[in-house]
Chains A and B, each alone.
Chain A
Amino acid sequence: MSLTGKVALVTGGSRGIGRAISLKLAAGGADVIINYFRRRETAESTAREVEKLGVSAHIIKANVGEPEKIGLMFDEIKAKCGRLDIFINNAASGVARPALELDDKSWDWTMDINARAFLLCVQRAACLMTNGGKIVAISSLGSRLTLPAYTSVGVSKAALEALVRYLAVELAPRGICVNGLAAGGVESESLKLYTRGQEAAAAGAWQTTPAGRMVQGKDVANLVAFLCSDDSEMIRGQIIVIDGGVSLAPIGTAKPS
Chain B
Amino acid sequence: MSPVEEKVKEIVIKIVRKPELDFTPTTTFKDMNADSLDIVQILVALEDAFDIEIIDEEMKEIANMGEFVAYIERKVAARKAA
Contacts and interface: CB of A to CB of B under 8 A. Distances in A.
Interface residues of A, number: 9
Nearest to A63: B44
Contacts of A38: 43-44, 47, 53-54
Contacts, number: 16
A95 B37 contact: yes
B41 interface: yes
B20 to A, nearest CB: 18
A54 B41 CA distance: 37
Contacts of B54: 38
Contact of B37 (A37, A39, A105): A105
A106 B37 contact: yes
A37 B56 CA distance: 13
Interface in B10-56: 36-38, 41, 43-44, 47, 53-54
Interface string A99-127: 00000011001000000000000000000
A40 interface: yes
Nearest to A69: B48
16 contacts: A37-B44, A38-B43, A38-B44, A38-B47, A38-B53, A38-B54, A39-B53, A40-B53, A63-B44, A95-B36, A95-B37, A105-B37, A105-B38, A106-B37, A109-B37, A109-B41
